[in-house]
């Protein structure tokens, strides 16, 4: 299976940080966000990845390319650990890049991958989402698709008024963690939300989604919304949701990035204990908590 990683947005919620720096290249501890996404795909057995970029995203391509000068400096300086950390990036997967020349929404970004995907099911993984799970979340969806043949969306429970920031599912439970989707509602008020089961940004879709995107009119800000196309696909083919096992870190805005950075750093095998000690000392000194 191939994976499509949309990474063409402007990242306006991070300005001025993302004026020239792609949001997907923001660091989380010692790696950019998009490297976590690519590594999840690879760990799920996906080796053919299409990254949909924009004009200001060249550093994404450079990150996954070789840097002979840097490799030589590290090798000559006997800095093997650092050399090892970059050596395999260009061999992680077969990476292909397609440019979305206009910012016309997530649906349009996925549509740009249609020629490479062809007539096959494929995964969509957002370029600003990190998962921590025993089985890669995208692999969980691939397994559901393998036994059902249907499109499947990763879903998670979202508490309280936070549902207004998500696409929310009207769905019926079929079995543990598996749901039949009846409708998708984009960013409803908590009072109007059909459930607390929300779209979590990872998908395995049939190629029928491309025709649905073609039939989807631009919505808010003149953009083609993927959720609108998914609603159409659901009516045509039916669609499943999988309440995934694991933890999702959303790097969609500065608070989400900071929270994710902090939580993942605390769990890091090298830096975690140092950070915990620093927080303890800081709290003793400043009485933060």
Could you tell me if residue 238 is inside a domain? Answer: yes
Q: Is residue 158 part of a domain?
A: no
Neighbours of 28 (CB within 10 A): 17
Give the CA diameter of the chain.
Answer: 62
Same domain, 265 and 137: no
| Tokens representing residue 7 in the block | 């990474």
Domain CATH number, residue 118? 3.90.550.10
176 in the same domain as 276? no
**Same structural domain for residues 112 and 223?**
yes
The span from the CA of 36 to the CA of 96, in Å, is 17
Q: Which domain covers residue 23, as residue numbers?
A: 2-150+172-182+198-251
Half-sphere exposure of 261 (CA within 13 A, CB side): 16
User: Which segments of the chain have a pLDDT < 70?
Assistant: 220
Does this model's pTM top 0.85? yes
Residue range 257-273, pLDDT digits in tens: 999 999 999 999 999 99
Assess whether 51 and 124 both reside in one domain.
yes
Q: What is the per-residue pLDDT for 220?
A: 67
**DSSP 8-state symbol, 114:** H
Domain match, 108 and 37 both? yes
Residues 211, 257, single domain; the answer is no
Check whether residue 176 and residue 285 sit in a common domain: no
Query: What three-state secondary structure class fits 157?
Result: strand
Q: Is residue 60 part of a domain?
A: yes
Tokens 């991070």 belong to 14
Do 228 and 259 fall into the same domain? Answer: no
């Amino acid at each position: 299976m191939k994976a499509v990683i949309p990474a063409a947005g402007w990242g306006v919620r991070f300005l001025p940080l993302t004026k020239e720096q792609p949001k997907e290249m923001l660091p989380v501890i010692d790696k950019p966000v998009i490297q976590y996404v690519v590594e999840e795909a690879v760990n799920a057995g996906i080796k053919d990845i299409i990254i949909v970029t924009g004009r200001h995203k060249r550093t994404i391509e450079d990150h996954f390319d070789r840097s002979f000068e840097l490799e030589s400096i590290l090798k000559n300086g006997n800095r093997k650990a650092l050399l090892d950390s970059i050596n395999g990036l260009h061999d992680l997967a077969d990476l292909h890049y397609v440019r979305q020349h206009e910012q016309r929404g997530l649906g349009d970004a996925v549509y740009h991958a249609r020629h490479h995907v062809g007539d096959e099911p494929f995964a969509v993984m957002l370029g600003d989402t990190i998962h921590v799970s025993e089985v890669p979340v995208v692999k969980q969806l691939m397994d559901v698709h393998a036994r059902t043949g249907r499109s499947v969306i990763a879903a998670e429970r979202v508490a309280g008024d936070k549902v207004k920031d998500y696409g929310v599912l009207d769905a019926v439970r079929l079995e543990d963690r598996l749901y039949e989707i009846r409708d998708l509602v984009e960013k409803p008020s908590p009072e109007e939300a059909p459930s607390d089961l929300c779209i979590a940004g990872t998908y395995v879709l049939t190629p029928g989604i491309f025709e649905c995107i073609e039939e989807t009119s631009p919505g808010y800000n003149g953009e083609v919304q993927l959720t609108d196309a998914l609603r159409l696909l659901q009516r045509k083919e039916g669609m499943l949701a999988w309440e995934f096992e694991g933890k999702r870190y959303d790097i969609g805005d500065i608070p989400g990035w900071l929270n994710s950075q902090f939580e993942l750093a605390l769990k890091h095998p090298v830096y975690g204990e140092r950070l915990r000690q620093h927080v303890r000392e800081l709290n003793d000194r400043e009485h933060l908590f």
